Amino acid sequence: MPIVRDDLETWLAVRDSVPWQTLGGTVEPVTGRRDGIAVFVDTVVRQRDPARADTLLKALAGVRAAKDAELSFELMARWLGERAEFRTTPAFAKGGRERYGLDETTPRRFRECLAESHDPAVPLAARAARVYLDVCFFHPFPDGNARAAMLAFAHLLVRDGVTVGQAGPLLLVARRADDRAGTLALVKLVEVLIGRLPARGTEHVAHALAP
């Protein structure tokens, strides 16, 4: 019988190999004049699906309203307007090229990963990148996981009083569960995004909202 690859387990192995506490550095967050995540939704997402953009902007308002709350599966479900029920079957992404398995421990392990998202020993850039990838690769919802990852990322920034001027470089690139080097690069990207002034102009439209 052929071995069925589980990209969630692949991600968890990569996750365990990354020295998160040493990544991200000490960044003096720069609060831009605009919320780059909201701009991304109101430009890139709106061009593809105006109704979804409106829904996501309301969800981002919910993220800001819950800035003092601990990130949880139930909180993300509320932002998405979904039932707080973990998926009941294996999940697939990237046209079926990645498969995320499921067993009786998966929901608990996801909650444990979310609980680590506010660990003060880990720099913000590393925590925000990690939670974004956790949501992507646990794929907890039957639908809306890319949106959930974006909202979880936004929540960590809001809790720390940070506004990024750009979000396209994060949200327009698909991430691979087995890409350790890409994970390290993502942390560096987030560090840059939270530590610089927003660039002028609008987000570039390149690819679909990923992953």
Express each pLDDT in 186-195 by its tens digit.
Answer: 999 999 888 7
Q: Which residues of 43-56 are buried (b: 16+ CB within 10 A; e: fewer)?
A: ebbbeeeeeebebb
> What pLDDT shows up at residue 17?
98
| Three-state secondary structure call for residue 154 | helix
pLDDT average, residue stretch 180-204: 75
> What pLDDT shows up at residue 4?
67
Which is it for the CA torsion 134, 52, 162, 111, positive or negative?
negative
Q: Residue 148: count other Cβ atoms within 10 Å of its Cβ.
A: 24
Rg over alpha carbons for the chain, rounded to the nearest Å, is 16
Express each pLDDT in 17-37 by its tens digit.
Answer: 999 999 977 666 666 667 999
Q: Give the C-alpha separation, 145 to 202, whole Å.
A: 25
| Strand partners of residue 98 | 93
| Three-state secondary structure call for residue 186 | helix
Q: Give the C-alpha separation, 140 to 148, whole Å.
A: 9
Residue 2 has pLDDT above 70, yes or no: no
Instruction: Tell me the one-letter amino acid at 5.
Output: R
CB 167 within 8 A of CB 37: yes
Structural domains of the chain ordered from first start: 7-18+31-194 (1.10.3290)
> What pLDDT shows up at residue 163?
87
Residue 204 has pLDDT above 50, yes or no: no
> What pLDDT shows up at residue 1?
45
> What pLDDT shows up at residue 32?
60
Q: Give the C-alpha separation, 136 to 31, whole Å.
A: 26
Write the burial class of residue 161 (CB in 10 Å: 0-12 exposed, 13-18 middle, 19+ buried).
Answer: exposed
Q: How high is the mean pLDDT of the chain?
A: 88
Angle (CA) 211 188 162, round 5°: 85
Express each pLDDT in 157-177 by its tens digit.
Answer: 999 988 888 899 999 999 999
167 membership: H or E segment, kind and range: none
pLDDT average, residue stretch 53-77: 96
Write down the pTM of the prediction. Answer: 0.89
pLDDT average, residue stretch 58-80: 96
> What pLDDT shows up at residue 202?
36
